[in-house]
Each structure stands twice: as structure tokens, then as C-alpha cells.
Structure 1
Amino acid sequence: MDSLDPLRRLAVEQARNRALMIGAAVGLAWLVLVGLFAFFGPEAEGQGAVGWPLWLVGVFLPLALVWLAVWAARSLLILRLEAEELRAMLARMQGEGAAAEPMAEPRPVAPAPAPAVRRSTVPPAPRPAADARQATLELDSLPETELTATELFHALNFPDGPEDREAIRCLRLALADPGMARLIRAAQDVVTLLAGQGVYMDELAMPQTDPALWRRFAEGARGETVAALAVIRDEDALASAGAMLRSDEVFRDVAHHFLRHFDRLMSRKAQDSDAELLAVLAETRSGRAFTLLAQVTGMLGRTGTEAEDEAAEAR
């Protein structure tokens, strides 16, 4: 996968250059048409002080729209590349984490045919050994990975890039646990889909909240009793998330899946951790996505309709 990254980046860069060339060609063609019209067209008489500004707007507005489309296309290509790289990195880490679990046992345990042969020849004797070995290979029986508070924070915040080695290490540890892996995959899907609509977690301001309220939320409180946790004031982000929940069935399913898993994590941590940890986890990129969606869905006392009404009033 790593060997394909330079080729993928080269293809994206070529596509961005093509978009730039197409924009330049369209803009030049438009200017040529305007020049021909100005040269061969009827004389513009009596336009006055109002006519010329309108004529200039008619000339330059299409150019502005063309270059806006070029900028959007180039930005979308970069966004898709970053999303693919993050998905690939998570997939690699999950694969390496899953592969590392069986290798923790001694190599002689790996071959399964030998116990089967002995069981067929002398059934009573080999059965205990076969059962013990089979138990070590059952993925469902693997113990959950116990992460420290710092490791959990880095895993839920995602690495900032390939050089963020500590965050990558913590993410690999988290992906070794099936439950955490499901949460992280759901969080990554939600963050990526929101970014596709211009909602970025790093740009969401998260004022400090009362840790006791997060503990109360983790213990099952909902609605107005924990309304002080609804601290996101970015009305555009709230409106976009609400619109996606209503109109995008795929996003709605992914978002509710993510909300359930993050809620379970908070409930589990509320039983054996300090309330400060819950507040800190809410400040990660995954936690910000959870707060945004919980605020829009009304879990924190604010519904998507209310958020849109406030956004309309702000405009």
C-alpha cells in the first residue's frame, strides 16, 4: 500500500493541474468571445454610468464562477486523497493489530491439523490438549486492550500525520481491541463525511465544560439536565450536520452507530475513571464529532430544528 502512495499523489496532482488548465482554457475562451463581441457587436451607446458597471459584471462574473469551480475541484481532490490515506492507515493498523494477537502465543500452537489427526486415531487422549489449543485461537475470547488515559486520548484524536508516531502507536493498540476498533472506524467515517461538507473538527471551538456533567451524561442523563454540554456554537456546522442526518441515509446510519459506541465508551469509563477523563475525551476529534451529533439529535437538549432556526436568525 505504501508503494502506491507516491503514484496516487502523482495522479491527484496531475488531476489538479488538469483542472487548472481547463479553467485557464475556459477563461481564455470566454475573454476571446467577449473581445469578439465588443469588436464586432453593436455600438454600446447611451449606457451611461450604470451600463458600464453592468457590462463589466457580465464579463467578470463568469470568470469568477469558473475559477471558483476550479478551486473547489482541486480542493475536493486533495480531500479525497487525505480520506483514502487515513482509511488505508487505519486498515493497515487494524490488520497489524489483529495479526499480532495470534503471534503472541508460541509458534507450535498455530498448526491445527495435528490435534485433529490424533483425535481421529485415539479419541480419548488428545481431546484436552486440542480443546486448550483451540481456545487460544478464538478471536471472540481475546481480552480487551486496556489503554491508559493518554493512549485513549491519542487514539480517539487520530494521528496528525505519518510523523505522529506516538498517536499511531496508540491507535494501533486501540485497533487491537474489537470494540475500540468498531468505535474508531465509525468515528473516522463520521469525521470524513462531515469534512466532505466543510465541517472540520479542528475548527469547532470546544469551550471547557464541567466534568461532573459529563459523568452525569455517561450515567444516563439526557436533554435539558445536561444542556450545558451543548457548547458548539458554530451554526453552519450544526445546520450542515442536521441536514445530513435528515437527507443522507448512509450518514444517518453511520452517525447513530458512532453515537452508540462512543456513549458506551463514556459509560464504561465513568465507572472506573475520574470525571476529568470524560471531559478530556470530549475534546478529541472523535469527542467533538460526538458532541456535535449529540447536540443536533437532542441528546444534549438541542434538536436539529432548533439549530437550523438559530442559524437562519444568525444569517
Structure 2
Amino acid sequence: MSSLDPLRRLAVEQSRDRLLTIGAAVSLAWLALVGLFAFFGPEGEGQGAAGWIVWLVGVLLPLALIWLAVWSARSLLSLRQEAEDLRAMLTRMQEHDPASQPEAVIEPRATPHPAAAAVPRSPLPPAPRPTADTRQATLELDSPPATELTATELFYALNFPDGPEDREAIRCLRLALADPGMARLIRAAQDVVTLLAGQGVYMDELAVPQTDPALWRRFAEGARGESVAALAVIRDETALASAGAMLRGDEVFRDVAHHFLRHFDRLLSRKAQDNGDPQLLAALAETRSGRAYVLLAQVTGMLGRADAQTDDGDETLR
């Protein structure tokens, strides 16, 4: 299953809850009408048992239809969400299958995951970057004047667009690239995600369980090591080993990773001061950029679990 957007999941749950509220409100309105009719309507003397049965059916049948409609609408929302997840999973399976790729995309080495190459940009000068997915080259990201991003826009920008049809994420990405500081972070994040994807480490496949937002607030304020070790939630040993090996043996990746970690650190610190909401910090860690940050922070020992130390050590990240 592809990376689940927490904001979209929240929207689906809110829609389901809203349907329950609507169903309850309509039911109460119907019962109020029935009560008014029974109070002010003609007396039912001499109706008999058959009359009462008809009256009860007339009262209960609309209620049953109301809740049948509510149940159907909630089920439809769930089915749509499952269909989107299945479609994303099938798309990713086809993209991993070399036989399903166009000949122009097939290369002797691993091709970066499409989600890792969503932002077309010029590579960094120290060394050539892995080839980006050519299907994303048509995204027009001419940046508008810089504006302050909302929490939702920041989330979408750091999560990268899923494709040319992901218009909302593309819009948020344009806004982020209009800010020089955010543009450096976005490009550094994509460099890291793309290089990791070249070694088979895909952010969509990293499980990042929910963590205590208060810990992210403490981390953003400068806490490091064992005091925030509960944030080291990645348990994918293959991903940890691959990232550690790249940090030790690939000088280019090490420089890019340190550059990315510094910029993401500054973002967390700034948002902790400006916004003050630890929920935002925890949500940013669930983006593709955030997952890359957690992976590297865990590997380098910033979270108290140094699975692989680099030659430069953690001091270069501060």
C-alpha cells in the first residue's frame, strides 16, 4: 500500500462522522413531526389493531430508510478509500516490474521510485544524481511569489506530488519552491529520497508508527540522544543497514544527507517557535521527506540509537 496521507484519512473519518450526525438530525426531525401529528392530529378512536400496525409502520419505515442511506454512504466512502489504496498499490507493483516499464525508462541499475522523483530540478554539482522519472518532467513548477505556507500546504509540499494529476500537491510545491529556504530543503530532501531509492529504500514502504507529539516538540527545541529515543521508530533493518552503509561509504550521499538534516532541523525549530503545535511537527515526520529525516536521524544517532555512525560523526549535523 502506498503512503497513506494522514490528512486524507482524517477527512474520510470526518465525513463518516458527519453522515452519522446528519442521520441523527434527520431522524429527530422526523420523530418531531410524528409527535406533532400525533398531538394535534385527529384522535384515533376505533382504529383497532390493524390501524395501529399501519401507523407504526408509517413511523418506523422512514427511520429505517434514513439509516439505510447513512450506512450505504459510509460504506461507499470506505470502498472509495480502499479502491484508492488498491489502485496505488497496483501502480507501484507495475512500476517495480521492469516488463511493465517503457523501454526508455529501463536501465541496468535500480530506477528511483516515482514518488522520489516528483520534483524536476537541476542536480547538485559534486556528482551526478540518479536518473529521475521522465514521466514527471512535464510538471510545470514556475514558482509564484513567496507566501507563508499553511500547515496543510507544508505537509503536501514535503510529501511530494504523487503524479501530474496530484494538482493540490503540485500547487503546494510551487508555493514552497518560491521561498529560497524551503526550496533548498525540498531539493535536498529529493536528493536524499532519490539516492536512497536507487539502493532500493523507498519512503512509501517505511512504516513510521505514531509518536508522542510532545517528544517532537522537545526534539525541535534541541533535545538529542536517549531523551528522544522513542522517536526512533523505524524497524526496517534492511533500510537502516542500507542508509548506514551509504553514509559510511558514499561521500556524496553523506554530504547531501548532512545538508538535508540541517535544513529539516531548522524547519522543525522554526515551526516549534512560530506555531507551537507539536501535532504539526509529528505530522511532518509522516511525509516522505519526514520519513527520510527519521531514517537518517536514527542511523546517525541523533535519536539515541546510532545503528551506523559516519566518519564525520553527528557533530556535523548540529
Residues 90/256 of structure 1: CA separation in 2 closer, same or farther (3 Å cut)? farther
Q: Does structure 2 retain, via aligned residues, the 8 Å contact 1:93–1:175?
A: no
Aligned to 1:183: 185
Partner amino acid, structure 1, of 2:159: N
| CA-CA distance at 1:83 after TM superposition | 6.3
What is the distance in 2 between the residues matched to 1:147 and 1:81?
A: 25
Aligned to 1:298: 301
Partner amino acid, structure 2, of 1:301: G
1:276 aligns with 2:264: no
Aligned to 2:199: 197
- Which structure has more helix as a fraction of its residues? 1
1:12-37 deviation per Cα after TM superposition (whole angstroms, max 9, x unaligned): 83357xx8xxxxxxxxxxxxxxxxxx
| CA-CA distance at 1:302 after TM superposition | 1.0
Aligned to 2:92: none
- Structure 2's unaligned 5+ residue stretches are 1-100, 122-135, 310-318
What is the distance in 2 between the residues matched to 1:303 and 1:267?
A: 22
Aligned to 1:13: 102
Q: Provide the secondary structure at the position in 2 that maps to 1:13.
A: coil
Partner amino acid, structure 2, of 1:290: Y
Aligned to 1:286: 289
Q: CA RMSD in A?
A: 2.5
- Structure 1's unaligned 5+ residue stretches are 1-11, 20-71, 102-143, 307-315
Aligned to 1:30: none
Q: Does structure 2 retain, via aligned residues, the 8 Å contact 1:204–1:234?
A: yes
1:87 aligns with 2:90: no
Q: Does structure 1 retain, via aligned residues, the 8 Å contact 2:117–2:194?
A: no
Residues 84/290 of structure 1: CA separation in 2 closer, same or farther (3 Å cut)? closer
Aligned to 2:175: 173
Q: Does structure 1 retain, via aligned residues, the 8 Å contact 2:204–2:288?
A: yes
Q: Does structure 1 retain, via aligned residues, the 8 Å contact 2:115–2:161?
A: no
1:3-55 deviation per Cα after TM superposition (whole angstroms, max 9, x unaligned): xxxxxxxxx83357xx8xxxxxxxxxxxxxxxxxxxxxxxxxxxxxxxxxxxx
What is the distance in 1 between the residues matched to 2:213 and 2:199?
A: 31
Partner amino acid, structure 2, of 1:196: G
What is the distance in 2 between the residues matched to 1:82 and 1:208?
A: 22
Q: Does structure 1 retain, via aligned residues, the 8 Å contact 2:272–2:278?
A: yes
TM-score, normalised via structure 2 length: 0.56
| CA-CA distance at 1:304 after TM superposition | 2.8
Q: Does structure 2 retain, via aligned residues, the 8 Å contact 1:145–1:173?
A: yes
1:254 aligns with 2:287: no
Q: Please identify the structure whose Cα radius of gyration is greater.
A: 1
Superposition pairs of residues 1-315 of structure 1, within 5 angstroms: 13-14=102-103, 73=108, 76=110, 78-79=111-112, 86-88=119-121, 96-97=142-143, 100-101=144-145, 145-273=147-275, 274-305=277-308
| CA-CA distance at 1:267 after TM superposition | 0.2
- Structure 1 segments (4+ residues) deviating >2 Å: 12-16, 78-94
Residues 15/251 of structure 1: CA separation in 2 closer, same or farther (3 Å cut)? same
TM-score, normalised via structure 1 length: 0.57
Q: Does structure 2 retain, via aligned residues, the 8 Å contact 1:186–1:254?
A: yes
Residues 83/237 of structure 1: CA separation in 2 closer, same or farther (3 Å cut)? closer
| CA-CA distance at 1:85 after TM superposition | 6.3
Q: Provide the secondary structure at the position in 2 that maps to 1:304.
A: coil
| CA-CA distance at 1:93 after TM superposition | 5.2
